[in-house]
Structure 1
Amino acid sequence: LMTAPFDWDLGGLPRSPVPVDAIPDIGENQQIVFTEWMGRSPQDVEDQVTYPLTVSLLGLPGVKTVRSYSFFGFSSIYVIFDEGVEFYWSRSRVLEKLNSLPSGTLPEGVQPALGPDATALGQVFWYTLEGRDPNGNPAGGWDLDELRSIQDWYVRYALLSAEGISEVASVGGFVREYQIDVDPDAMRAYGVGLDDVIRAVRSSNIDVGARTIEINKVEYVIRGLGFIRQLSDIEQTAVKVNDNVPIYVKDIAKVSRGPALRRGALDKGGAEAVGGVVVVRYGYNPLAAIQHVKDKIDELAPGLPEKTLADGTVSKVTIVPFYDRTGLIYETLGTLNTALTQQVLVTVIVVIVMVLHLRSSVLISGLLPLAILMCFIAMRHFGVDANIVALSGIAIAIGTIVDMGIVLCENILRRLDEACEGENTLEVVYQASSEVGGAVVTAVATTIVSFLPVFTMAGAEGKLFKPLAFTKTFALLASVIVTLAIIPPAAHLLFTRRPIGGRFRRYGLGAIVLGLALAAGIVAAWWVGVVLAVVGLYHLTRDHLPARARIAMPLLGNALAVVLVGVVLTQYWLPMGPVAGFVRNLVFVGLLIGTLLLLFRIFEHFYPAVLTWCLEHKIAFLSLPLLLLLLAGMIWQGAARVFFFVPDALRQNRLWTSTTEVFPGLGREFMPALDEGSFLYMPTTMPHASIGEALDVLAKQDMAFQAIPEVESVVGKIGRADSPLDPAPISMIETVINYKTEYITDAAGRRLRFKYDRAEGDYVRDAEGSLIGDPKGRPYRQWRDHIQSPDDIWHEIVQAGEIPGTTSAPKLQPIAARLVMLQSGMRAPMGVKVRGPDLATIEAVALDIERFLKEVPSVEPAAVIADRVVGKPYLEIDIDRERIARYGISVQRVQDVIEVAIGGKRLTTTVEGRERYGVRVRYLRELRDEIDTMERILVPAPDGTQIPLAQLAEIRYARGPMAIKSEDTFLTAYVVFDRKPQYAEVDVVEQCRRHLEDKIDSGEFSVPEGVHYTFAGTYEHQIRATRTLTVVVPLALFIIFLILYLQFRRVSTTGLVFSGILVAWAGGFLMIWLYARPWFLDFSVFGTNLRALFQVHPINLSVAIWVGFLALFGIATDDGVVMCTYLEQSFHNRPTETVGEIHKAVVAAGTRRVRPCLMTTATTILALIPVLTSTGRGSDIMVPMAIPAFGGMTIEILTMLVVPVLYSMLQEAKARRATGD
């Protein structure tokens, strides 16, 4: 309980929970080297900073690749290490290299820095600073520069002090700056040069200390005060003295406060905003870190500044989150918590119905919570974090956990029934446990071994699924410990035939139960109290009841227990939805579980007759599993690949065409997308767009998005936040769009209910128009009728975001986008990387690829976007060396004037308490914002003459790079694209590759010498995982075979048990195929369409599906092991000679073991139904993993026939050899 990741209220019990996140960090193992060189073009940054650093960093030990970006004013280099390199060790190696760079490697004054000890996936909390009134409503009244100063010098450092936080970066608003705008005419009149201004301002901003002096035995500290405090301090600074008359800065320049140059901005709902992003330290618990940040915000809130506006409204600066991963984490945990609870309750019902023994049912059901809690302890001890994928390992193992207890308890009960009167119960329990103990251990061993391939996965797929393999292994080992160590002694206590305590036991137990009934009626629910009261009264009056009543009461108790658990299950589950009402949901749950259990009972009843027929018609029966295997192959690979040998002449008929259409093969992708509850809309503007134009586009888009009724909040960003983790140009837009949940929910994702007036057909509201909570009411749907899924919301977002001058955007979500960019450097899950010798060439090739990819049928044309590498307008000032030589002016002097007069230069920094602001000098705006005014900028000659720039240089327009990307020093451009919804990403990439190859073969596409392209994206993980599984899965199956061989000691017997894997494998693919059929489950029960209930839709073959198959392989042999173990024992104890005797013995043995086999299969199948119907956050990943196991175990029932039939064939062959036939 202390280590459980769920937010359980344990009172005063201390907590040390497993670290929690929504999804594992599957990004690359990387470090960032960030270098600022303000005002420099991307080409300058690339040539003088990025390239030298990249070359130096390539030689570090363990480096896999170095990905570099050169933007205006900064360089960002991603050093990607091998997965085995420890994170902080790699940081020390990078620092070591940066500190040992040879002199002259970088320009003077340029200092590279190591980025924060975090990744972009650690951006877990975004917020804005807003003026709010006491009621929490927006009040405004704060300028952007005021809010930015509060963020930079107060909020940022306070949040940075929270435990687990690596960085808090500011974004948006204006950074204050003291601006000295010089007038060149006034400077010339007073004989003052730019150098004089620079020298004077720099020397006017300094404090000094002069140690101490002692006066009257008192020590005084001496300070010389000289820091700039206000504008007048700069204005009164003397630049020069002419004839004893000082020339002040105010005489030659205009001094003011203004905004510094910015390369990023934030917009909220169409208005500029100021905010920040909180980044969690690598390896720290995100949930705990966010809570620490919220605690700091609570501390900060009372002290944040406030002001009274002109209308009397009090506006207080408030921290308003707009992206908080806590919600997603709690919702995914809530989904898993609900699914696990439902699975436990379903399993309890199955056990009670199938075992028909209440005490053993309680004993078996007690396995589940114990095994799950032991799993949490192991996760905490071995450092396995809890997330949607890791905890899914427990969800898909629930049915398997109780299988061991079912087999053991069923055998103990059977042995007790067969035992003689007076036989020692302890001895009977021991013998029964020993009899099936080997089978239990073998079954668990095969299940654990089946997941060995997951432990061998590397890269992103390994990071994603290894935690699942650990949790499933922990759960199974815990189940073995509980089964073999707790059930036998507990069974001895519960099932003993000797009266213990006599009258005290009888009346005491009744009194205890009545006491529990009273407590339950007060604390839990009245009906729980009633049920327990009935049980208590039964124990008190049992001896006075008629004999028939005493016989019927256990059955009545089982039925009562089933109803009780069914009611609880219905309250948690509500499969038909809350609108259908509790009674209809209860009836549906009863029909669903009851129908399936009835089918199992019918199978058990007719099993001897069916098995007898199968033994008499072996060939006909065995053709069924062979046909299923053939169908599975066609579903997986497609009919065309399975029947590759069919000649072309036969491929033209209608039968072949229909077959290939029905069995085209499964699409392939890396992982199903996790619904995060928000989108990240990332289009780009044209490269030539200014920050003002980009802001205008951003505001229009945000207002259009906010107008969509399903959208809750919209916050967009252009450019970059002040963080090395955000290397983005001005043209890149990132808009976080949070949409409303389909129904109003609580923090854990549970639907809330509100008062509903059935007569009026509408919800009841209070005087303020708000909904009224009512536990017996209905949930409130927030989406319009035609909006059925998040995809529908995305389509409306795309339509609303269509603004001239912007590209389209691939469908992304915040976490998914960060992962994609961490893995490939691109902002889309699929793309092409073009490498070449120069920027113009790779841009031309990238544009050709963009044009050709739009022709591929499976590609979304609007989402194909090639980098416009050299699309940025430049003004180049080309200095004429002959001209400057005539005046004796150096290139350095001209460049200094250009840098200061046009670009501005930061001279010094003020110290104002905790705040720091820059002081910069520049020409007046009207004297530098056009070419003709630039040409009149004066450059001083050594003799004091002022020479216009036009006489020294040529100013011209040119096209240049907006950003320069490279990988391992090779210049690179990206072409990103997205797929149409009905296609799988791996298939799309292969189609694109073939299309480009066809264009090359036809001569339409010519790749210049020195240029090459490669496809990149998440599909690479699928390809790598498939290659790994191709080698490791057969090895794991071979190990399973060896384990089975150690159990049975014969290859033939082992082989027939192993056949269960093949049958289950076929069933898994058959279920995937059925999910893609439009007619499958397309009917309604009580007005609820089962296709919608079970979320039936086409499933692509992903790594998650293969993990589901691996889980299936481990349990597919369990029934065969149980069945074959008893067959071996039966034939060993009672040898047979004739075919008739063999058949009779096989049927008898099968009949004795069909019940425990059916029970284990029923628990596995029915326990997966809540997962298949789960719709909460995170179910997107759980459901695909459950589908193969559900389908495989459904068909695996055939194993109860296949194994006896094959075993009979072996025994018949042995008998024929013995008789010489």
Structure 2
Amino acid sequence: MFGPLAMTIAISLFVSLVVSLLLSPVLCSFFLKGGSGEDTRVIAFMKRHYLHLLDNATRRNRMTLAVAVGLLLGSMALFPLLGKSFMPTMREGALTPQINRVPSISLDESIRMEMAAMKSIAEVKGVRSVVSKLGRGESPADPAGPNESDPIVLLDPDSGRSQDEIDEEIRQRLSSIPGVQIVLSQPISERVDEMVTGVRSQVAIKIFGDDLTQLKDISEGVARVLKDVAGSRDIRIERLSGQQALMVEIDRAVIARYGINVSDVQDVIETAIGGKEVTTLYEGERRFAVAVRFPEDERATPEAIGNTLLTAAGGAQVTLSTVAKIRLLDGPAQISREAGKRRVVVGANVEGRDLGGFVQEVQDRIAKEVNVPPGYSFVYGGQFENMERAMSTLAVIVPLTIAAIFFLLFMLFNSVRLAGLIILVLPFASIGGLVALFVTREYLSVPASVGFIALWGIAVLNGVVLVSAIRRLREDGLDVAEAVREGCVQRFRPVMMTATVALLGLVPFLFATGPGSEVQRPLAIVVIGGLISSTLLTLVVLPTLYRWFDEKPVEA
């Protein structure tokens, strides 16, 4: 998802490196002639106040470090309060209310109910248009019967109503229809969730076991728990029953007395009810299979099917009901398997709270309130599965990123001390990002994590600029205090410009309102908040720490 962003930044940095090494010196030789080199009034004003702050910070270095560490610990205390999610909920400008009716419903009745539902949705203020279809083709990837539909509802952005308000009214209208299950989603989000995790809900609790009756009981218990958990919406149990099945139990002792084989009985039942191909019809180059079966009235009821005649060994005719018990049963609507095991899915969407906290509460309550026999297990999927996978990946990427940064810094300075000094900037840079997420009530998601990585890159860049200047002055013979003060004065403007330009470049992400802006906003919030804290701490805390990390350290 963030591949294009990473590629764009990498290409831009490479081009800027080439320009700075080849083009910038030429342009400077033409345009930077005889300049005064004096600071503007704004920069001069900022430098005066900065030097006053820097002198106080370096003079009271222990207090400065104590305040910085206190701010760091305070921001870390906010971490458990942030909440975790995979991706922010996008506002696509369209809805997909998935409607699931009982599997045994007739096509005519399903169409009637669907038309009534579409008419009700179209009456909602803020709905521009509604289009729907019943079922899907018998493809192995995504089949659906005529009892299922997923209409597309386009919203009017100029209606003056928020998408949350429209969602709630549509949900209330559809919930009043008896015998249906409703899951309100969005077209893109629904398809992405289904392709990645195989389910269409943000949280999917997969229950594995052998007995369908036991699976049904457990799934109903899980659904009761979900209804009591704050933030749960659109709870849906994968239908296990509701489809009638014709059961024909052949009495083997009876058919043995008549000299009839089981296969003979099965062939007659297959031909009478399901139909059997008897020939092929050719029309030009087209071929059509021709099948025969009993008329509708002779296979419509168990009694009619029981009147089907069988031929005994001696030529006598006996009815099917004589040699078999025929009855209709409430059979399973579907039997789903995953990794070779039977499973039932209980799905739910989350609204008004973070995904990680929601699943944690659900797990705790299921462990206490749902009786799970031996041999049955739970797997939590949906967006929660994606979140866990993403967090596991970041748990590897982040340490590797920090190690790579440290290695590059060591190669640059040829000093473990100075490389370690700049690495210490990273946690202090994160202070602003954590506080910004907490203030804006955003969750710690994948975009926010990417924002922290980008923030660390900018913080390291500013640290390199400042430490390089101080080190050069030390090599020129200045003592630590003079080198730190003079280096900070010289690099104040570059550090401020780097942070300001990066901050201004992310402001459009912060205030964007178009589709997909919800994904960009956490990244912008983290980087902007982090730049504010990292710039201040780079200019104040890093110079304070430098005296302990200098290659010729002095006593405190």
- TM-score, normalised to structure 2, is 0.90
Deviation at 1:622, TM superposition (A): 3.1
| SS of 1:853 mapped into structure 2 | helix
| SS of 2:207 mapped into structure 1 | strand
Matches of 2:329 and 2:41, distance apart in 1: 79
* 1:830-845 → structure 2 map (5 Å cutoff): 830-845=203-218
Deviation at 1:876, TM superposition (A): 1.2
2:90 is the alignment partner of 1:674? yes
2:99 is the alignment partner of 1:726? no
Tell me if the contact between 1:673 and 1:1180 (Cα under 8 Å) persists in the aligned partners.
Answer: yes
Equivalent position of 2:476 in the other structure: 1133
* 1:816-831 → structure 2 map (5 Å cutoff): 816-831=189-204
* Among candidates 789, 792, 796, match of residue 165 of structure 2: 792
Matches of 1:844 and 1:628, distance apart in 2: 51
**Segments ≥4 residues shifted beyond 6 Å:** 597-601
Equivalent position of 2:121 in the other structure: 705
Deviation at 1:1189, TM superposition (A): 0.8
Deviation at 1:1112, TM superposition (A): 0.8
Indicate the larger mover: 967-976 or 1031-1040.
Answer: 1031-1040
Distance 1:1049 1:722, change over 3 A: same
Tell me if the contact between 2:101 and 2:181 (Cα under 8 Å) persists in the aligned partners.
Answer: no
* Among candidates 309, 318, 327, match of residue 947 of structure 1: 318
* 1:440-519 → structure 2 map (5 Å cutoff): 469-495=6-32
Tell me if the contact between 1:874 and 1:958 (Cα under 8 Å) persists in the aligned partners.
Answer: yes
2:535 is the alignment partner of 1:1197? yes
Deviation at 1:916, TM superposition (A): 6.0
* Among candidates 42, 60, 71, match of residue 628 of structure 1: 71
Deviation at 1:1196, TM superposition (A): 1.6
Equivalent position of 1:1054 in the other structure: 419
Deviations 1:184-212 (A, max 9, x none): xxxxxxxxxxxxxxxxxxxxxxxxxxxxx
Deviation at 1:878, TM superposition (A): 1.9
Distance 1:885 1:614, change over 3 A: same
Matches of 2:99 and 2:438, distance apart in 1: 36
Deviations 1:915-959 (A, max 9, x none): 665544232223322233223333345666553332232211222
Deviation at 1:486, TM superposition (A): 2.8
Matches of 1:882 and 1:1036, distance apart in 2: 75
Equivalent position of 1:1025 in the other structure: 390
Deviation at 1:891, TM superposition (A): 2.8
Deviation at 1:1174, TM superposition (A): 1.0
Distance 1:680 1:910, change over 3 A: farther
Tell me if the contact between 1:876 and 1:958 (Cα under 8 Å) persists in the aligned partners.
Answer: yes
Structure 1 unmatched ranges of 5 or more: 1-23, 25-388, 394-468, 498-550, 552-596, 638-664, 743-781, 1000-1004, 1076-1097, 1137-1141
Deviation at 1:634, TM superposition (A): 1.0
Matches of 1:1194 and 1:1070, distance apart in 2: 11
Deviations 1:218-241 (A, max 9, x none): xxxxxxxxxxxxxxxxxxxxxxxx
Equivalent position of 1:561 in the other structure: none
Deviations 1:865-891 (A, max 9, x none): 223324422221222333334444333
Tell me if the contact between 2:548 and 2:554 (Cα under 8 Å) persists in the aligned partners.
Answer: no
| Structure showing greater Rg | 1
Distance 1:996 1:1216, change over 3 A: closer
* 1:497-646 → structure 2 map (5 Å cutoff): 602-637=45-80
Distance 1:805 1:1106, change over 3 A: same
Distance 1:911 1:798, change over 3 A: farther
Tell me if the contact between 1:1070 and 1:1191 (Cα under 8 Å) persists in the aligned partners.
Answer: yes
Deviation at 1:713, TM superposition (A): 3.0
Equivalent position of 2:3 in the other structure: 390
Matches of 1:914 and 1:1118, distance apart in 2: 72
Equivalent position of 1:987 in the other structure: 357
Deviation at 1:615, TM superposition (A): 2.5
Tell me if the contact between 1:719 and 1:733 (Cα under 8 Å) persists in the aligned partners.
Answer: yes
Equivalent position of 1:976 in the other structure: 347
C-alpha RMSD of the superposition = 2.9
Equivalent position of 1:1016 in the other structure: 381
Tell me if the contact between 1:807 and 1:865 (Cα under 8 Å) persists in the aligned partners.
Answer: no
| SS of 1:1052 mapped into structure 2 | helix
Equivalent position of 1:1100 in the other structure: 443
Tell me if the contact between 1:1041 and 1:1054 (Cα under 8 Å) persists in the aligned partners.
Answer: yes
Deviation at 1:474, TM superposition (A): 3.1
Deviation at 1:808, TM superposition (A): 3.9
Matches of 1:933 and 1:600, distance apart in 2: 96
Tell me if the contact between 1:719 and 1:730 (Cα under 8 Å) persists in the aligned partners.
Answer: yes
More helix by share: 2
* Among candidates 1124, 1133, 1157, match of residue 467 of structure 2: 1124
Matches of 2:48 and 2:385, distance apart in 1: 51
Deviation at 1:704, TM superposition (A): 1.6
2:67 is the alignment partner of 1:696? no
Tell me if the contact between 2:205 and 2:380 (Cα under 8 Å) persists in the aligned partners.
Answer: yes
Tell me if the contact between 2:183 and 2:236 (Cα under 8 Å) persists in the aligned partners.
Answer: no
User: What letter matches 1:1204 in structure 2?
Assistant: P
* 1:1033-1072 → structure 2 map (5 Å cutoff): 1033-1072=398-437
Deviations 1:620-643 (A, max 9, x none): 333332232112101112xxxxxx
Equivalent position of 1:439 in the other structure: none
Distance 1:390 1:916, change over 3 A: farther
Deviation at 1:1103, TM superposition (A): 1.7
Matches of 2:44 and 2:120, distance apart in 1: 59
User: What letter matches 2:150 in structure 1?
Assistant: E
Matches of 2:129 and 2:282, distance apart in 1: 38
Deviations 1:49-89 (A, max 9, x none): xxxxxxxxxxxxxxxxxxxxxxxxxxxxxxxxxxxxxxxxx
* Among candidates 524, 532, 537, match of residue 1186 of structure 1: 524
Equivalent position of 1:877 in the other structure: 248
Tell me if the contact between 2:210 and 2:342 (Cα under 8 Å) persists in the aligned partners.
Answer: yes
- TM-score, normalised to structure 1, is 0.43
Deviation at 1:910, TM superposition (A): 4.4
Tell me if the contact between 1:1161 and 1:1197 (Cα under 8 Å) persists in the aligned partners.
Answer: yes
Distance 1:857 1:1175, change over 3 A: closer
| SS of 2:150 mapped into structure 1 | strand
Distance 1:486 1:628, change over 3 A: same
Deviation at 1:606, TM superposition (A): 2.3
Tell me if the contact between 1:902 and 1:922 (Cα under 8 Å) persists in the aligned partners.
Answer: yes
Equivalent position of 1:368 in the other structure: none
Equivalent position of 1:1162 in the other structure: 500
Structure 2 unmatched ranges of 5 or more: none
Distance 1:908 1:695, change over 3 A: farther
Distance 1:598 1:935, change over 3 A: farther
Tell me if the contact between 1:688 and 1:873 (Cα under 8 Å) persists in the aligned partners.
Answer: yes
Tell me if the contact between 1:876 and 1:956 (Cα under 8 Å) persists in the aligned partners.
Answer: yes
Equivalent position of 2:100 in the other structure: 684
Deviation at 1:998, TM superposition (A): 1.8
Matches of 1:912 and 1:815, distance apart in 2: 44
Tell me if the contact between 2:418 and 2:550 (Cα under 8 Å) persists in the aligned partners.
Answer: no
Deviations 1:94-125 (A, max 9, x none): xxxxxxxxxxxxxxxxxxxxxxxxxxxxxxxx
- Paired residues, what number? 551
Distance 1:1164 1:491, change over 3 A: same
Deviation at 1:1210, TM superposition (A): 5.7
Matches of 1:931 and 1:1072, distance apart in 2: 65
Deviation at 1:825, TM superposition (A): 2.6
Matches of 1:1109 and 1:601, distance apart in 2: 31
* 1:256-267 → structure 2 map (5 Å cutoff): none
Q: What's the % identity of the aligned pairs?
A: 30
Deviations 1:438-483 (A, max 9, x none): xxxxxxxxxxxxxxxxxxxxxxxxxxxxxxx444333322322332
* 1:348-359 → structure 2 map (5 Å cutoff): none
User: What letter matches 1:993 in structure 2?
Assistant: Q
Query: Which structure is richer in relative contact order (CA contacts within 8 A, separation 6 or more)?
Result: 2
